[in-house]
Structure 1
Amino acid sequence: MILTDVFTRAIKKSVFKLRPDGSNNNAFPSGHTSITFASGAVVYEEFKNFSSLLAYSGYGFATLTGGLRMANNKHWVSDVLVGASLGILVTKLVYHFDYLFKWNPFIKAKDMSLVPRYSNGNVGLYFSKKF
Structure 2
Amino acid sequence: MKLKCILLSVFALAAVSLHAAEKPDSLSHSRSPLKSVVQAGTAFAVNVGITEVLKHTVTERRPDGSGDDSFPSRHTSWAYNLGSIGARELYRFSPWSVTGFHAMASAVGMQRIMARRHLPRDVLAGAAIGVASAELGYWLGGLFFHDAPLKLPHMSYERLAAFDYATVAVFPLSDIGEGLSLRTGFSAKAHVIYPLNEHLGLLAALKVQSLPVYRSGQFFGLLDSAGLSAGASYGMSLGGRWGIESDIVIGVSRVWGQGGYNCGRWAFDCDATLGFPCRIADMLMLGPRAGYNVMVMSDAISMLTLSFFTQITF
TM-score by length of 2: 0.32
1:10-58 superposed Cα distances (whole Å, 9 cap, x missing partner): 0111100000001100000000000010011001111234422122211
Looking at structure 2, the residues matched to 16 and 60 of structure 1 have their Cα atoms a distance apart, in angstroms, of 29
Looking at structure 1, the residues matched to 118 and 128 of structure 2 have their Cα atoms a distance apart, in angstroms, of 15
Structure-1 residue corresponding to 2:83? 40
Structure-2 residue corresponding to 1:27? 70
Deviation at 1:98, TM superposition (A): 3.3
Deviation at 1:103, TM superposition (A): 4.6
Structure-2 residue corresponding to 1:14? 57
**After TM superposition, which residue ranges in structure 1, 4 or more long, deviate above 4 angstroms?**
none
Provide the secondary structure at the position in 1 that maps to 2:116.
coil
Q: Among residues 118, 125, 128, which one is paired with 1:75 in the alignment?
A: 118
Looking at structure 2, the residues matched to 101 and 83 of structure 1 have their Cα atoms a distance apart, in angstroms, of 28
Structure 1's unaligned 5+ residue stretches are 105-131
Amino acid at match of 1:12: K
Q: Which has the higher contact order (CA 8 A, sep 6+)?
A: 1
Provide the secondary structure at the position in 1 that maps to 2:130.
helix
Of stretches 10-19 and 54-63 in structure 1, the one that deviates more from structure 2 is 54-63
Of stretches 71-80 and 43-52 in structure 1, the one that deviates more from structure 2 is 43-52
What does residue range 59-70 of structure 1 map to in structure 2 within 5 Å?
Answer: 59-70=102-113
Q: Which has more strand, going by share of residues?
A: 2
Looking at structure 2, the residues matched to 43 and 99 of structure 1 have their Cα atoms a distance apart, in angstroms, of 17
Looking at structure 2, the residues matched to 95 and 81 of structure 1 have their Cα atoms a distance apart, in angstroms, of 22
Q: Among residues 107, 128, 131, which one is paired with 1:88 in the alignment?
A: 131
- Indicate conservation of the 8 Å contact 2:46/2:137, yes or no: no
Structure-2 residue corresponding to 1:114? none
Q: Percent identity?
A: 31
Of stretches 32-41 and 91-100 in structure 1, the one that deviates more from structure 2 is 91-100
- Indicate conservation of the 8 Å contact 2:80/2:105, yes or no: yes
- Indicate conservation of the 8 Å contact 1:40/1:56, yes or no: no
Structure 2's unaligned 5+ residue stretches are 1-43, 148-314
Looking at structure 1, the residues matched to 146 and 57 of structure 2 have their Cα atoms a distance apart, in angstroms, of 35
- Say how many residue pairs are matched: 104
Looking at structure 1, the residues matched to 54 and 141 of structure 2 have their Cα atoms a distance apart, in angstroms, of 25
Structure-2 residue corresponding to 1:51? 94
- Aligned-pair RMSD on alpha carbons? 1.6
Looking at structure 2, the residues matched to 55 and 15 of structure 1 have their Cα atoms a distance apart, in angstroms, of 31
Looking at structure 2, the residues matched to 30 and 98 of structure 1 have their Cα atoms a distance apart, in angstroms, of 25
Q: Which has more helix, going by share of residues?
A: 1
